[in-house]
Copies of this chain bind each other. A is one copy, B any other.
Amino acid sequence: MSDEKKARTEIQSLGEFGLIERLTKTFRPNQKSTLKAVGDDAAVLEYGDNCLVVTTDMFVEGIHFDLMYSPLKHLGYKSIAANVSDVCAMNAVPRQVTVSIAISNRFSVEALEELYDGIKAACSHYKVDLVGGDTTSSNKGLIISVTAIGETEKSSVTFRSGAKVGDLICCTGDLGAAYLGLQILEREKQIYLANPGVQPDLGERNHLVEKILKPEARTDMVAAFRKNKLIPTSMIDISDGLASEIHHICSQSNVGAYIEESGVPIHPDAQMQAIDFGLDPITCALSGGEDYELLFTIDPEDVDKVKFLPDIYIMGEVVSKEEGIRLHTKGGNIHPITSIGWEHFQPTPNSDQNPN
């Protein structure tokens, strides 16, 4: 045998979910207040009569956002909305957030005030309290870490793992818009870099650009579920694309899924923009990310509870695991849906490369 060399596994080879699984698999919760630890949109803790859900997300400049086209105020708003969306995915009501930032000295106090104006607008809109955080310097760029706490009755919590064969698969809003909005912004950025004098042409498809820059968490839907006494059997928020999320629900519920392409809600602007870019709209809906809509399953007996709710679309059915996860296209074909989420761990040109 050659001399022993310590193995080096590249993070990209595992992907985000594989990495989390590998790093956390040996952790065992011991507190009786911990009902659910790692593995859903949020942790579920039992304190008092109700359950708390706790979720956290980190946003890194150059990875999750580009300040060339993300105004700081929108970024602040979005960092809260994305976490509130995870609280919604547990069918809970958001209550508190903490916000930590690491910033390089290229940011002025005024720039940070813009960021916090957006955070404040989101806190006000979602009725959550900013209760803490940390502020420190970074060597490069802006990093935002948000933790959100929500509350709900124990009987109302929705996990990814509750989908049953025969349940209906539903989603809120429309899908693929954020991805297409990002493509518009990227196109205009390239044009601007080549010709700094040219004004950006964001077209008339404001819905797409708004979806990427200032998405909303669906607290309205959680409220509508409550009003209609509907508890989804499973739920997840669509941050990495429908394909990735349906895979999470199916794998954690041990089921398959059958989705009708004609049932997947795509905004007319997204349809048109996809065609302009030479993309297939359903691919954008399946693989695009950051829509922050809710994907959920309901017992078929509850169908009347959602039928008359606005902005909810029934797009398929939960089937047995053996049937897999498939899409029935408008053309009448049946394709397996592969899990293509957002993969953050691709080498980037400006990543540092020292071995460690």
Contact = CB atoms under 8 A, between A and B. Distances in A.
Most chain B beta-carbon neighbours within 10 Å: one of A12, A127, A130: A130
A71 B57 CA distance: 25
A138 B101 CA distance: 14
Contact of A100 (B26, B43, B57): B57
Interface string A103-132: 111111111110010001001000111111
B47 A48 contact: yes
A109 B139 contact: no
A23 B33 CA distance: 34
Interface in A25-40: 26-27, 29-31, 33-34, 36-38
B133 A353 contact: no
From DSSP, what is the main secondary structure of chain A's interface residues? mixed
A54 interface: yes
A354 interface: yes
Given A58-B145, A60-B138, A111-B356, 7 more contacts: A11-B108, A45-B95, A54-B132, A56-B100, A58-B136, A136-B344, A141-B352
A311 B114 CA distance: 46
Nearest to A34: B129
A161 interface: no
Given A10-B109, A47-B48, A137-B344, A102 B352 contact: no
B123 A27 contact: yes
Contacts of A102: 58, 60, 63, 143
A38 B129 CA distance: 10
A8 interface: yes
B100 A132 contact: no
19 contacts: A11-B112, A23-B135, A29-B130, A30-B129, A36-B131, A48-B48, A56-B147, A58-B101, A58-B134, A60-B136, A60-B137, A60-B139, A62-B139, A105-B352, A106-B351, A108-B355, A139-B141, A140-B141, A140-B351
A149 interface: yes
